[in-house]
Amino acid sequence: MVPIERSVCCAVIAELVAAASVLHLDSVRFSRDRRLSAGRQAKVDKLQTRIRMICRRYGEALGKTAPAADAKFVGLQNELVRHTEKLFVFVLSKTESGAKRRGVIMSVLASLSKRLEHFTLGTVLSEINHWLETGQSVFRAEVATLQAATAVVPRAPP
């Protein structure tokens, strides 16, 4: 693939950002719709389809000589399309607190998927049981390790 000219790349990025902004506004409007939830999944499906439509470079194979900006841009589109099912979970909730709860759950699961060696239902449930029994999550243990590693030991004055 021939590297994209910088001005063309900026225009493409601006177009993607503008389309994503409109998409976000629509998703917020859908999430605030207080009617029964029968049509919510259809709205989410439409939003996900729109993500796929604006990510025109999804799946594009870039060679090793591709500019870093191109690689990042295509990588962003690949991530968006691969994770469309996670982008609009808040639309499926009828209340703000339900949307927040769902978002927190999705965030915790995404974080666990990065920290557990094998991300399965069994390992997630085992980790939750560990939290309940010890009162300490894998996240708190990670923070404690980082704090210990970066702690400054006070020196006696000379």
Q: Answer whether residue 104 is part of any domain.
A: no
Q: Answer whether residue 149 is part of any domain.
A: no
Q: Answer whether residue 109 is part of any domain.
A: no
Q: Answer whether residue 129 is part of any domain.
A: no
- pLDDT for position 1: 46
Rounded to whole angstroms, how far apart are CA atoms 5 and 11? Answer: 10
Q: Answer whether residue 156 is part of any domain.
A: no
31 CB burial (10 A radius; 0-12, 13-18, 19+) = buried
Rounded to whole angstroms, how far apart are CA atoms 130 and 136? Answer: 7
- Structural domain of residue 54, as residue ranges? 6-94
Rounded to whole angstroms, how far apart are CA atoms 90 and 96? Answer: 8
Task: State the pTM of this model.
Answer: 0.51
Domains held by the chain: number: 1
- pLDDT for position 51: 84
Q: Answer whether residue 62 is part of any domain.
A: yes
Cα dist from 40 to 22, 30, 53, whole Å: 18, 8, 20
For residue 85, count other CB atoms closer than 10 A to its CB: 10
- pLDDT for position 12: 65
Q: Answer whether residue 111 is part of any domain.
A: no
- pLDDT for position 109: 81
> What is the pLDDT tens value at each position of the chain, 158 positions in all?
445 455 555 666 677 777 777 777 787 777 777 665 667 778 888 888 888 888 888 888 888 888 888 888 888 888 888 888 777 776 776 667 776 777 777 788 888 888 888 888 888 888 888 888 888 888 888 888 888 888 776 677 76
CA 104 to chain CA centroid, nearest Å: 12
Angle of the 96-115 helix axis to the 121-134 helix axis, nearest 10: 100
Q: Answer whether residue 133 is part of any domain.
A: no
